[in-house]
Amino acid sequence: MAPASPICKTMTAGTLKQNPSAESPPRCVNLLDADEFRRQGQQVINFIADYWSGMGDHPVRPNVTPGFLRDQLPTDAPPMPEPDAWASALQDIRDLILPGMTHWQSPRHFAHFPASSSTAGALGEALIAGINVVPFTWAASPAAAELEMVVVDWLGKALHLPASLLFAGGGGGTLLGTSCEAILCALVAARDRKLAEVGWGRIGDLVVYCSDQTHFSFRKAARIAGIQRGYCREIPTSLDDMFALSPAALKAAMQADVDAGLVPLFLCATVGTTQTTAVDPIRGLCAVAATHGLWVHVDAAYAGSALVCPEFCHVVDGVEAVDSFSMNAHKWLLANNDCCALWVKKPAALVAALGTEQEYILKDAAAEGHDVVDYKDWTMTLTRRFRALKMWLVFRCYGVDGLRDHIRSHIRMAAAFEELVRGDARFEVVTDRHFALVCFRLLPTERLGGEKKANELNRRLLEEVNTATLGPYMSAANAGGIYMLRCAVGSTLTEDRHVREAWKVVQEQATSLRGKMQIVKV
């Protein structure tokens, strides 16, 4: 067995004294020492376990100012290893870094869609790092490529996606880092397919479509893909439609562009928008998009996880007509950051746009004549992570039924929070709750009145809620000119009591704020 790769250091002064004329030969230290790894690894496991079990003692958000950490750390890296460096570094993480963190795993973190964690996901990350392969082609790591193919079909079936998006049905999927990557890959494939039809000189005429609620990552992807800034059409939505994209509005926007001599290219529809979890009507949008040959992509970054529950399959009614679909298993499906799944109906379109000439060094005789997947041709990067191993472990350890229970528990807690809001006449639930996000606001008194003042009232309420000592931590949305608070239930550690405690803080701060404002008015 070959020795592990060493790192070399110069000899000590004593050695040089014995042989002053000799050059300093290197002194090598094993960087993959199994025994040292066991010792340090146990320290890390204990550290993380203590962090999880003591999460309730941490404020969700830190009370720090810019520069707080830089001022406490040396300006230069240490030239030599420190004595007992590992234990010393862990102590600094505990004393310096954790106090400056926003704790996304906190049971009182309700501000953002979750970055869900599990023991299987975390240990899967450790295995990925330890094995440390680079599976850009089948030959580079055959098991990694084939496990990814298996896992994306497992996941697609668990989410009740149509067979046409799975390897089993002629489509296929891959695991990426984020939805931003997934959207960009799909957009580039759509761009090249369209330009092959209309001529490559017309790239400046391509137009893409979304709603004013679509995540900004789509507009960023459009710029990277060469779409002119003014040709990303953000179609307005309204509270009357719960901020969902209207097929009629899309049809009108596309027709106006065609009449102007432009080329409709791509629609990014969303299931579970970031602000309010609006659900765009997939079937109706696909019917409209088909009239001009648009590529339809569905971004279900957050809400896609809910599709493991059959009772939510209606939110993607018509999904069999889309060209691509993506969701983040790291958001709500216990896969830990990062793990985004992208499925496409026509993998050849991805390969045509993103594939590279197979260099000799990447070839493997065993793959010749076989229909293998080289995932480097499905995305922008060559270096990629073995994410399939982590997702496979999550399925093995929890099963589809366990994932359903996980999702349903958060939806149940969100429904309970919604009922608490409805039970207080001072508040209103602004939008329909589709999943585990509740959008609500404090109503102004008749004396205060007016939408502008209502928005200011809720801005102040959010500030007061988020200054509570240990939490909760919530965020805001501003859709249709309405400023509302967001309570997103999704942390793996959140229990019913955390939801009740969060609502109690909101009520107390609302009472205090209204009292202060009345005093000011008097």
Asked if pLDDT for residue 8 goes beyond 80, the answer is no
Asked if pLDDT for residue 29 goes beyond 80, the answer is no
Q: Give the mean model confidence (pLDDT) for residues 24-28.
A: 62
Asked if 136 contacts 376 with a C-beta cutoff of 8 angstroms, the reply is: yes
Q: Give the mean model confidence (pLDDT) for residues 230-243.
A: 97
Q: What is the C-alpha to C-alpha distance for residues 476 and 461, in angstroms, rounded to an integer? A: 10
Q: What is the C-alpha to C-alpha distance for residues 489 and 114, in angstroms, rounded to an integer? A: 8
Q: What is the C-alpha to C-alpha distance for residues 116 and 493, in angstroms, rounded to an integer? A: 9
Asked if 403 and 384 sit in the same domain, the reply is no
Asked if pLDDT for residue 19 goes beyond 80, the answer is no
User: CB burial class (10 A; 0-12, 13-18, 19+) of residue 212?
Assistant: middle
pLDDT at site 25: 61
DSSP secondary structure string, 459-517?
A: HHHHHHHHTSSS--B-EEEEETTEEEEEEE---TT--HHHHHHHHHHHHHHHHHHHHHH
Asked if 214 contacts 274 with a C-beta cutoff of 8 angstroms, the reply is: no
Q: Residue 522's pLDDT band (boundaries 50, 70, 90)?
A: very low
Asked if 169 and 318 sit in the same domain, the reply is yes
Asked if pLDDT for residue 14 goes beyond 60, the answer is no
Q: Give the mean model confidence (pLDDT) for residues 86-90.
A: 94
Asked if 478 and 503 sit in the same domain, the reply is yes
Helix (H) or strand (E) holding 29: strand 27-30
Asked if pLDDT for residue 510 goes beyond 80, the answer is yes
Asked if pLDDT for residue 356 goes beyond 70, the answer is yes
441 domain residue, yes or no: yes
Asked if pLDDT for residue 10 goes beyond 80, the answer is no
**Mean pLDDT for all residues in the chain:** 92
Asked if 490 and 344 sit in the same domain, the reply is no
User: CB burial class (10 A; 0-12, 13-18, 19+) of residue 310?
Assistant: exposed
Closest CA to 347 of 174, 116, 150, 104: 174
- Percent share of the chain, pLDDT over 90: 84
Helix (H) or strand (E) holding 39: helix 34-53
Tokens of 342: 């992208």
100 domain residue, yes or no: no
Q: Which is higher by pLDDT, 264 or 6? A: 264
Asked if 420 and 388 sit in the same domain, the reply is no
Q: What is the C-alpha to C-alpha distance for residues 512 and 506, in angstroms, rounded to an integer? A: 10
Q: Give the mean model confidence (pLDDT) for residues 170-197.
A: 97
73 domain residue, yes or no: no
Asked if 380 and 424 sit in the same domain, the reply is no
Q: Residue 514's pLDDT band (boundaries 50, 70, 90)?
A: confident
Asked if 144 and 197 sit in the same domain, the reply is yes
Q: Give the mean model confidence (pLDDT) for residues 372-382.
A: 92
Closest CA to 137 of 300, 355, 319, 447: 355
Domain CATH for 502 = 3.90.1150.10
Q: Which of 75-89, 337-351, 420-434 has the lowest mean pLDDT?
A: 75-89
Q: Which of 1-15, 70-84, 134-148, 173-187 has the lowest mean pLDDT?
A: 1-15
pLDDT at site 368: 63
Q: Give the mean model confidence (pLDDT) for residues 302-328.
A: 98
Q: Residue 357's pLDDT band (boundaries 50, 70, 90)?
A: confident
Q: Give the mean model confidence (pLDDT) for residues 252-272.
A: 98
pLDDT at site 471: 84
Asked if 269 and 417 sit in the same domain, the reply is no
379 domain residue, yes or no: yes
Q: Give the mean model confidence (pLDDT) for residues 128-154.
A: 95
Q: Residue 217's pLDDT band (boundaries 50, 70, 90)?
A: very high
DSSP secondary structure string, 77-114?
A: --SSPPTTHHHHHHHHIIIIIGGG---TT-TTB-SSS-
pLDDT at site 366: 56
Range(s) of the domain holding residue 423? 399-520
Asked if pLDDT for residue 15 goes beyond 90, the answer is no
Model confidence over 433-487: pLDDT tens digits? Answer: 999 999 999 998 765 567 888 999 999 999 999 997 788 999 999 999 999 999 9
- Tell me the whole-structure pTM to 2 decimals: 0.92
89 domain residue, yes or no: no
Closest CA to 416 of 470, 476, 497: 497
172 domain residue, yes or no: yes
pLDDT at site 83: 87
Asked if 448 and 393 sit in the same domain, the reply is no
Asked if 419 and 507 sit in the same domain, the reply is yes
pLDDT at site 12: 44
Q: Residue 126's pLDDT band (boundaries 50, 70, 90)?
A: very high
Domain CATH for 192 = 3.40.640.10
Asked if 317 and 417 sit in the same domain, the reply is no
Number of H helices, E strands in the chain: 14, 13
Sequence-distant (6+) residues with CB within 8 A of 345 are 164, 165, 170, 171, 322, 323, 324
128 domain residue, yes or no: yes
3 domain residue, yes or no: no
Asked if 323 and 454 sit in the same domain, the reply is no
pLDDT at site 449: 60
pLDDT at site 252: 98
pLDDT at site 1: 45
Asked if pLDDT for residue 281 goes beyond 70, the answer is yes
| Counted domains in the chain | 2
Asked if 108 contacts 475 with a C-beta cutoff of 8 angstroms, the reply is: no
